[in-house]
């Protein structure tokens, strides 16, 4: 069974029929789901989904796009909210200099709070980074109390960034973007990720993989990404499913 390591089950087009979304995914061979939060107002909802459905876990975080709207969401707030058995991660958090929807310094402050919370709780960090490789690495390398691990989600960055993230102990998660025809550089990087550090995700309802492009993405579609990656890396679909599922549990559920 595969695991969708990053999906937004509380977003419109999925939230209206979560049981159906999960049933279709299970029929496609997807048995686990990490429901991601991006705003404080979403926390109760994603935890509620995880509580109500077997094989679903939840994260607590503030997306960098939302940093300006959450000036008071500090490490203590994140730590307090993480004290639930279905919460297995802090994030998604990080830096996005492509859209710049929040002030960059405010993004950094929020990111630091999430890093502090991850260190304090021992939960892995879910990192979003776009056009911000240098600053993302700099913040991840800042000294702090407690170990830090996590995942670079929906990875689209450079080979050098992947190498540095891996050296820090992070995992790399690939979305449907890797199946796109114009993603040649990403596909080359995908071949180099160690088998014990690779995850797969949909980031649904966004980024539907080939051959489902143009449709609302669902967790079931992670099977298409996994099939593409298996062929790209020269392994069987069964082997890739087994390794990515084992990686998910090694990173996330061991701390639950």
pLDDT at 255 over 90: no
Residue 254 — pLDDT band, cuts 50, 70, 90? confident
Q: For 56-72, what is the mean pLDDT?
A: 98
* Burial class for 85, CB neighbours closer than 10 Å (0-12, 13-18, 19+): exposed
Token pair 């980024």 is found at 207
Domains of the chain: 4-8+10-255 (3.20.20.140)
Average pLDDT over residues 7-17: 96
Q: Taking residues 223-249, what's their average pLDDT? A: 98
Report the chain's C-alpha Rg in angstroms. Answer: 17
For the segment 106-122, the average pLDDT, to the nearest whole number, is 98
Conformational region of residue 6, where left means phi above 0, alpha means psi within -120 to 50, and beta covers everything else: beta
Collapsing DSSP to helix, strand or coil, 204 comes out as: strand
Would you state the torsion angle of the CA atoms of residues 214, 197, 94, 97, taken in this order, to the nearest 10 degrees? -60
DSSP state of 57: E
| The two structure tokens encoding residue 243 | 């390794």
Which residues 6+ apart lie within 8 Å of 163 measured at CB? none
Mean pLDDT over the full length of the chain: 97
Q: Which of 86-95, 193-202, 246-255 has the lowest mean pLDDT?
A: 246-255
Kindly list the strands in the beta sheet with 198-200, ordered across the sheet, starting from the edge strand earlier in the chain.
Answer: 2-7, 30-35, 56-60, 87-96, 125-130, 150-152, 171-174, 198-200
Residue 241 reports pLDDT greater than 90: yes
Residue 256 has pLDDT above 90, yes or no: no
* Residue 219 pLDDT exceeds 60: yes
Residue 250 has pLDDT above 90, yes or no: yes
Distance between CA atoms of 112 and 96, rounded to whole angstroms? Answer: 14
What share of the chain has pLDDT > 70, as a percent? 99
What mean pLDDT do residues 30-57 have? Answer: 98
Please compute the mean of the pLDDT values over residues 29-40 and round it to a whole number.
Answer: 98
Phi, psi of 196 (to 5 degrees): -90, 10
CB 194 within 8 A of CB 225: no
- Residue 95 pLDDT: 98
What band does 170 get if pLDDT is binned at 50, 70 and 90?
very high
Work out the pLDDT band at 86, boundaries 50, 70, 90.
very high
Q: Give me the pLDDT at residue 7, please.
A: 98
Please state, as a whole number, how many other Cβ atoms lie within 10 Å of the Cβ of residue 24: 15
């Amino acid at each position: 069974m595969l695991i969708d390591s990053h999906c937004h089950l509380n977003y419109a087009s999925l939230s209206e029929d979560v049981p159906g979304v999960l049933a279709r995914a299970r029929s496609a061979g997807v048995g686990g789901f990490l429901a991601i939060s991006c705003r404080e107002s979403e926390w109760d909802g994603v935890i509620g989904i995880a509580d109500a459905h077997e094989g679903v876990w939840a994260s607590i975080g503030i997306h960098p796009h939302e940093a300006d709207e959450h000036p008071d969401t500090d490490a203590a707030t994140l730590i307090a909210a993480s004290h639930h058995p279905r919460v297995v991660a802090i994030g998604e958090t990080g830096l996005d200099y492509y859209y710049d929807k929040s002030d960059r310094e405010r993004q950094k402050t929020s990111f630091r709070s999430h890093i502090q919370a991850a260190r304090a709780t021992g939960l892995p960090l879910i990192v979003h980074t776009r056009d911000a490789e240098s600053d993302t690495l700099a913040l991840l390398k800042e000294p702090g109390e407690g170990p830090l691990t996590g995942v670079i989600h929906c990875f689209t960055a450079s080979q050098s960034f992947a190498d540095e993230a891996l050296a820090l102990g992070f995992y790399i998660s690939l979305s449907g973007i890797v199946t796109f025809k114009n993603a040649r550089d990403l596909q080359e990087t995908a071949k180099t990720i160690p088998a014990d550090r690779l995850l797969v995700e949909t980031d649904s309802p966004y980024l539907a993989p080939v051959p489902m492009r143009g449709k609302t993405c669902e967790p079931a579609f992670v099977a298409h990404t996994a099939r593409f990656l298996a062929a790209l890396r020269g392994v069987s679909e069964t082997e890739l499913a087994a390794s990515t599922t084992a990686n998910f549990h090694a990173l996330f559920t061991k701390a639950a």
